[in-house]
Structure 1
Amino acid sequence: MIYRITYILISVCLTITPMLSGMMNSSQESQPADPDQYHIESNSQTDNQILWSFLDITQPTVNMLKYDVLHYEINLELDFNTESISGYGKVTLKSTADNISFIDLNLGNHLTVTQVLMNDTINLNYEHLDDHILKSYLNETIDSGDQISLMVYYSGFPSNSPYLKSMHFYEELGSHVCYTHTEPYGSRFWYPCKDFPFDKADSIDVIVTHPDNYTAVSNGLMQSRVDNGDGTATTHWHSGYPIATYLITIGCTDYELYSQPWEYSPGDTLSIDHYYYPGASPEISWSSIHAMIDYTIPALETFTYWFGQYPFIDERYGHNHYGSSGMEHQTMTSIGPARNEEMLIVHECAHHWCGNKITCENFHHVWLNEGFATYAECLYQLYHYGEDSYRDLLDYYKFYDVWKLYLDNINFYHINNGIYFKGCWVMYMLHMILGDDGFRQAMHQYFNDPELAYGTAITDDLEIICEEVYGAPMDWFFDQWLYQDGNPDYYFSYIFEPNPETENYTIFVAIDQKKEWETFIMPVEIRAHTSGYDSTITVFNDERSELFAFDFPGVPDSIQIDPEEKILCQVCYEDEFTAHIVSEDPDDGYVGVPYFYEFKAVGGTPPYNWSLINGRVPYGTDFHGGSSAYINGIPTSASEFLFTLRAVDSSVPPQESEQTFTLKVLPAAPMCGDLDYDQAVNVNDIVLLINYIYLDGDVPDPIEIGDVNCDGKIRLVDVIYIVNYVFRDGLEPCHDCP
């Protein structure tokens, strides 16, 4: 195996305190939620098989890329007797290309279109195609920047949709209910739209005519309710925030309302409105209305702290009972009447930041919605219940050997536990790398970035912001966890020996990643214990097999890898510490300067038999193998030399270690006193040295060339030394520098 060694000098820490601590305390414990209860069931084979037969619904047409949706108006009458709908959907759009002669919209072909009007008055010809595309032919072409509206009159039975996610009528607990549940591609099966998350409407109006003893709820704020005098009423809802199609909702039944104010800042309140079935009222112990009332405001407080102000503060937050598990419809989260679960309320609330304010641009990156919201549950536990509850929920969501987060094939759209569980752990690991302050800063920047807020994002957008906070590229982190299956497994062993130079002990820790996954690159904590104290270092593990060495002031009685469980990984201790080469890349050499470097191995059974098995050492030098290993000679050519050594121990059977090294030979060594690098020491160098010492001039590079008498300091005596050499035939600058 090939090993690389990193040496780290550490200091002893008497205690290791947890990185995170709860900001608030509560004696109440909560049960973690199962992702199967969320709005996209993790293993719904029936749903996925149906999706498979409708591959064409997952991609926009070319025409859809040539316009931008500005507004949706949905005006429907709900007939509960026939469980049908009728009315119109109006799409206001702006062209982003020239010479557009038709507009494609998504609309299920189980619905019957009777008329399409442009700008409210002009009848258009149209085709309603088998792939659920409504193609409307314009009476004249439009160009980039032109704005038009299409009003589509239609009717039908939405529950007859060939796709499970749509509008449904059903009866439960004595209530006859109409509700919607459409993520990812089901909005087209109840209203005409461009049904892809990359194009959000700037605002919406939802107008519902319904039995006058019913209440209709939707997104945003209610604008009006008019009694029509014929047994029906018409309710108008409006939202002025950008919104994705799958987040638009209608809920209609004999709802009752429970409202509570949330004072989100001194003197400012937001109405929290819970619409519940009479058969699942607060008097019913199992009703989810209890979780809505008890946990919504604590959830909003948590995410305001971690992510910033509630994104839809000018409207409201609410819940309505509906016929599925849970769905984060914007400003009106839908919850099943029997889902009396704290974490479900918390999860869907979190989506108002991760999913609603910033929506995944496409469902390849849906982990940005679901992984975020699942980790948000953990942040909620930390905020309200403390470190132990936080860790318990993280442990519940720890699953190994899960496939990658990026969904290659969104045609099949197989949302799996990995999106929730692994996504949660990726957010947690990001938190651990950035630290509390850095993570919170990154979250506030992400959710308030003017290019992303109320729009869409892909993982690269999150990565860019995290890199700004981290201060260095993070592609090594995001690429592996997004596009790579599995997780690291760390097999480790260690050995120690006295270090006569420091009077401490040098500990050698070998880490191997043995599973079939590609190598994971991560900062890994190593903790050494001895009687009365312990010490933790962080190493950057970026090799399949790697050896780390560090000083420790005592004989270690145990070593731990990832002791705080900051990585989604499995750790296994191996008793035998096999033979390892422990040398780093050799020191640089200089042309014409004598060179010597010796290599070292530990572990296994000494002595070792060394050999050069690949590459070459610098010209003018030789590698000496056998019972020892060293390079000596005088380099004659400046270059970079790559070579691999093998050390075989005396065990039966023998153990061996291989390591590849890079040795750089630089041009002739810089002359002491030659600050202008012209291969001569003269008056120009005197001026540069005086400028550096007294006038804040350029720093010599390397700095040792300014130390012309080689006493370890650069000061006036060096100026005198070089003046004597240049003008008085004094001693030449020390030839041993640098």
Structure 2
Amino acid sequence: MNRFLLIFFLSVLIQFGLRAQHETNISDVYSTDFESRKGISTENIKVTNDTSIDVLFYHLRIMPAIDSAWIQGHVSVHFMSKVNNLNLYLLDLHQSLQVDSIIGASSFLHTNDSLFIYPSSKIDSGIVTSVEIFYKGYTSLAGGFKGLRYSVHGNNEPVIATLSTPYLAHFWFPCKDGPADKVDSVYVDITIPSRSYNNIPLRATSNGLLKLINETSTHRTFQWKHRYPIVSYYVMMAISNYVVLEEEYCNNDYCFPLEYHVFAEDTVAAKPGVADLPEMMGLFESLFGPYPFRNEKYGMTQLGFYGAIENQTNTVINRMSPDWKMVVVHELAHMWFGCQITCSDWHHGWLNEGFATYSEALWKEHKEGFHAYSAYMASKGWYQEGTVHLKNIDDPFNIFIGIIYNKGAWVLHMLRSTMGDELFFSFLNDYASLPELSFGHVSTERFKNLAEEAYGSDLDYYFDQWVYDEYYPSYLYNFEQSSSQLNIQLFQMQAQLGRRPLFITPIDFLISFSDFSDTIVRVFNNNQNQLFNFTFDKTVVSVQLDPNQWLLHSSSYNPELPMGLPRLNRAESFTFYPNPTYENIMVQIENNLELPCTLTIIDVKGIERTRVQIIQHYQLIDLKGLGKGMFFLKLINKEGAISGSKKLIIK
């Protein structure tokens, strides 16, 4: 690699390293615990995803222990057969839990987290039936971390909560786990002892609305009903001696409650932490359409540990203090993206997390203006390997990783730049309100198709490079002005690191003039080495690439980058420019020539002075060290065939 390319890459690493030291990534709240626990579990977790049934309704009647990780109860599962003569179907239940009996089944087998159920008689397609599963046992935690989690707060006061994403609901109740199937509604009855801690009674909270509290001399049963479609891992339960803070959100058409379950010792900090939530709700309704669960509530429940999970209508969150405000924003946005519209499987998890992270930036823009938005997105820049479209989704601790949050948000940020504000925000509102997706599922391909319909043009290239491929473009650029003509040379050099050679994208340049005025011009970069021409009647003093940070990239202005484009004749396998030169040449290789190949440089005495491996069709070659004089260049392909020589003059 030549000297100025090395300096360029070192400067990029230093730049982004310094940035990383000063930024606060909200996604770290979600991913740090997962990263620290990678490798704890030696087995990937599989769910049955039985496509022969469509689950319609759960009614959980459960009694968790307070002092130990024990649960017992029974769950009614209503489902419709999707095949004729159904004589076996599968649900998910962790093997640490014991099934005592199943009403509505002739027999069952519980093995390896799968529950095989044989109905009393064969079931035809379209027939709705139900079973009631009685179970009990000591619960297990995935990776020692997620499932039905027990902890304490304050003065040894209990906290019990479910952490079920991405497909861990079966660690505490029998269900069809994972994102593929949504029940139409869920009822959750939670029976707990009538105890108080620090003179505050235990409460049990769940999704939807609290319809009734049944009390006996020893126990209280909290009956919650949620009448919206929901995936199993968003069904939740939390128990502690909570204080309930309540307010109401209203717009011109409806009102619904906002409900916060908080520890008594944290109520003072929580009140300012949630003070902006009605404004957040109003912003997101203006951007994404009406709150999806407006007939019930939006709530948050404190855990005192972990990060947060966007359980439908009832987010669980470590704390609600003002320093967690951006997490509050993130989880609220999930009610549209994650709960209402759910990724079809976790390969497409960025459609949940990327949207919620991008919503953080939109909140920043709403409160502090575009520059704050731009700076916030810059803090989310993702310059590491990996694809936004996840490849491995069998490991629950390898799904909620930084790339689907941060680069997922950048996919939307750059799409906004590509489409323009008016079209982008219209599309965003239409997407969030589309009847076919509402309370359903979406894949990356479907999202792409909808974006193309709104944009009116093909976006295959966009999703190929930003969602399905890795990294980002690395630019070198140079400019020169002759009379009134300004030429800007742009070269994508990331192929020299073995990465995708070309990212097709619009790019803005800030042109500054000697009279202290400036202007922004936009170009469409669709070649690895490209020359752009402009006419200005003023003297240009500087050119800045991407001044408003619309593009995930690295770049460096380099006055040594050769200007212009070579002309490759049909009979030629390669050409180069400039010639004569001082220090560098740009080599262009014929497109049909298979790479890599080798360029040899020979002096007038016939001595080979150097050879360079050519790995891309445009490649910048450093000639420092060869000295002045005449040289000859030859290209050797993979089969060893040698092209005709070309003369080079170094001044």
TM-score by length of 2: 0.80
For 2:43, the equivalent position in structure 1 comes to 54
What SS does structure 2 have at the residue aligned with 1:581? coil
Distance across 1 between alignment mates of 2:481 and 2:505? 24
When Rg is computed on C-alpha atoms for both structures, the one with the higher figure is 1
Residue pair 2:141, 2:171 contacting (<8 A) in 1 also: no
- Alpha carbons of 1:574 and 1:299: their partners in 2 closer, same or farther (altered >3 Å)? same
Distance across 1 between alignment mates of 2:437 and 2:325? 29
| Residues 1:250 and 2:231 are matched in the alignment | no
Residue pair 2:47, 2:92 contacting (<8 A) in 1 also: no
Distance across 2 between alignment mates of 1:612 and 1:566? 29
| Residues 1:452 and 2:443 are matched in the alignment | no
Distance across 1 between alignment mates of 2:163 and 2:393? 19
- Alpha carbons of 1:42 and 1:87: their partners in 2 closer, same or farther (altered >3 Å)? closer
Name the amino acid aligned to 2:202.
Y
Distance across 2 between alignment mates of 1:645 and 1:280? 60
- Alpha carbons of 1:269 and 1:470: their partners in 2 closer, same or farther (altered >3 Å)? same
Distance across 2 between alignment mates of 1:376 and 1:535? 30
For 2:498, the equivalent position in structure 1 comes to 516
- Alpha carbons of 1:159 and 1:230: their partners in 2 closer, same or farther (altered >3 Å)? farther
- Pick from 90, 104, 113 the counterpart of residue 99 of structure 2: 113
- Alpha carbons of 1:154 and 1:470: their partners in 2 closer, same or farther (altered >3 Å)? same
What SS does structure 2 have at the residue aligned with 1:49? coil
- Alpha carbons of 1:397 and 1:98: their partners in 2 closer, same or farther (altered >3 Å)? same
What SS does structure 2 have at the residue aligned with 1:342? helix
Q: CA deviation at 1:264?
A: 2.3
| Residues 1:440 and 2:421 are matched in the alignment | no
- Pick from 373, 379, 382 the counterpart of residue 362 of structure 2: 379
Q: CA deviation at 1:260?
A: 0.9
Distance across 1 between alignment mates of 2:591 and 2:555? 35
- Alpha carbons of 1:392 and 1:368: their partners in 2 closer, same or farther (altered >3 Å)? same
For 1:151, the equivalent position in structure 2 comes to 132
What SS does structure 1 have at the residue aligned with 2:411? helix
- Alpha carbons of 1:550 and 1:584: their partners in 2 closer, same or farther (altered >3 Å)? farther
Residue pair 1:374, 1:421 contacting (<8 A) in 2 also: yes
Residue pair 1:327, 1:334 contacting (<8 A) in 2 also: yes
Distance across 2 between alignment mates of 1:612 and 1:479? 25
Name the amino acid aligned to 1:434.
M
- Alpha carbons of 1:534 and 1:257: their partners in 2 closer, same or farther (altered >3 Å)? same
Distance across 1 between alignment mates of 2:618 and 2:349? 47
Distance across 2 between alignment mates of 1:653 and 1:42? 61
| Residues 1:409 and 2:400 are matched in the alignment | no
Name the amino acid aligned to 1:542.
N
- Pick from 209, 214, 217 the counterpart of residue 191 of structure 2: 209
For 2:167, the equivalent position in structure 1 comes to 185
What SS does structure 2 have at the residue aligned with 1:496? strand
- Pick from 363, 366, 373 the counterpart of residue 349 of structure 2: 366
Q: CA deviation at 1:49?
A: 2.1
Residue pair 2:158, 2:240 contacting (<8 A) in 1 also: yes
| Residues 1:481 and 2:460 are matched in the alignment | no
For 1:126, the equivalent position in structure 2 comes to 108
Q: CA deviation at 1:275?
A: 1.0
For 1:471, the equivalent position in structure 2 comes to 456
| Residues 1:303 and 2:303 are matched in the alignment | no
Distance across 2 between alignment mates of 1:612 and 1:335? 55
Name the amino acid aligned to 1:75.
R
Equivalent runs, 1:506-585 vs 2, <5 Å:
506-514=486-494, 515-518=497-500, 519-532=502-515, 533-578=517-562, 580-581=564-565
Distance across 1 between alignment mates of 2:362 and 2:33? 22
What SS does structure 2 have at the residue aligned with 1:167? strand
What SS does structure 1 have at the residue aligned with 2:131? strand
Structure 2: runs of 5 or more not aligned:
1-22, 195-200, 593-616, 636-651
Q: CA deviation at 1:199?
A: 0.8
For 1:100, the equivalent position in structure 2 comes to 86
TM-score by length of 1: 0.71
| Residues 1:44 and 2:26 are matched in the alignment | no
Distance across 1 between alignment mates of 2:631 and 2:315? 65
Q: CA deviation at 1:248?
A: 0.8
Distance across 2 between alignment mates of 1:191 and 1:653? 79
Distance across 1 between alignment mates of 2:527 and 2:542? 23
What SS does structure 2 have at the residue aligned with 1:58? coil
Deviations 1:401-445 (A, max 9, x none): 342111111123413222212112111111111222112111111
- Alpha carbons of 1:78 and 1:574: their partners in 2 closer, same or farther (altered >3 Å)? same
- Alpha carbons of 1:653 and 1:345: their partners in 2 closer, same or farther (altered >3 Å)? farther
Distance across 1 between alignment mates of 2:67 and 2:122? 43
Residue pair 2:508, 2:545 contacting (<8 A) in 1 also: yes
Name the amino acid aligned to 1:102.
L
Deviations 1:319-345 (A, max 9, x none): 111242211111111111375411111
Residue pair 2:477, 2:488 contacting (<8 A) in 1 also: no
| Residues 1:317 and 2:309 are matched in the alignment | no
Deviations 1:588-607 (A, max 9, x none): xxxxxxxxxxxx99856499
Q: CA deviation at 1:226?
A: 1.2
Residue pair 1:579, 1:604 contacting (<8 A) in 2 also: no
For 1:276, the equivalent position in structure 2 comes to 262
Q: CA deviation at 1:455?
A: 0.9
Distance across 1 between alignment mates of 2:535 and 2:456? 28
Distance across 1 between alignment mates of 2:436 and 2:25? 33
What SS does structure 2 have at the residue aligned with 1:100? coil
Distance across 2 between alignment mates of 1:152 and 1:195? 15
Q: CA deviation at 1:50?
A: 4.1
For 1:462, the equivalent position in structure 2 comes to 447
What SS does structure 2 have at the residue aligned with 1:141? coil
- Alpha carbons of 1:106 and 1:354: their partners in 2 closer, same or farther (altered >3 Å)? same
Distance across 1 between alignment mates of 2:560 and 2:631? 13
Distance across 1 between alignment mates of 2:469 and 2:426? 27
| Residues 1:218 and 2:200 are matched in the alignment | no
Q: CA deviation at 1:542?
A: 2.1
- Pick from 183, 192, 199 the counterpart of residue 181 of structure 2: 199
- Pick from 226, 230, 240 the counterpart of residue 239 of structure 1: 226
Residue pair 2:141, 2:148 contacting (<8 A) in 1 also: no
Residue pair 1:58, 1:410 contacting (<8 A) in 2 also: no
Distance across 2 between alignment mates of 1:116 and 1:651? 88
What SS does structure 2 have at the residue aligned with 1:318? strand
- Alpha carbons of 1:167 and 1:289: their partners in 2 closer, same or farther (altered >3 Å)? farther
For 2:329, the equivalent position in structure 1 comes to 346
Distance across 2 between alignment mates of 1:391 and 1:655? 49
For 1:393, the equivalent position in structure 2 comes to 376
Q: RCO (CA 8 Å, sep 6+): is it higher in 1 or 2?
A: 1
Residue pair 1:42, 1:416 contacting (<8 A) in 2 also: no
Residue pair 1:360, 1:366 contacting (<8 A) in 2 also: yes
Deviations 1:421-478 (A, max 9, x none): 2112111111111222112111111111111111111111221221122110111111
Distance across 2 between alignment mates of 1:278 and 1:209? 22
Structure 1: runs of 5 or more not aligned:
1-30, 499-503, 587-599, 617-643, 659-738
Give the total of aligned pairs.
Answer: 562
Residue pair 2:302, 2:320 contacting (<8 A) in 1 also: no
- Pick from 478, 481, 504 the counterpart of residue 496 of structure 1: 481
Q: CA deviation at 1:305?
A: 1.8
For 1:336, the equivalent position in structure 2 comes to 318
Deviations 1:125-151 (A, max 9, x none): 11110x200111112222221211121
Distance across 2 between alignment mates of 1:163 and 1:579? 59
- Alpha carbons of 1:472 and 1:615: their partners in 2 closer, same or farther (altered >3 Å)? closer
Identity %: 27
- Alpha carbons of 1:516 and 1:115: their partners in 2 closer, same or farther (altered >3 Å)? same
- Alpha carbons of 1:161 and 1:35: their partners in 2 closer, same or farther (altered >3 Å)? closer
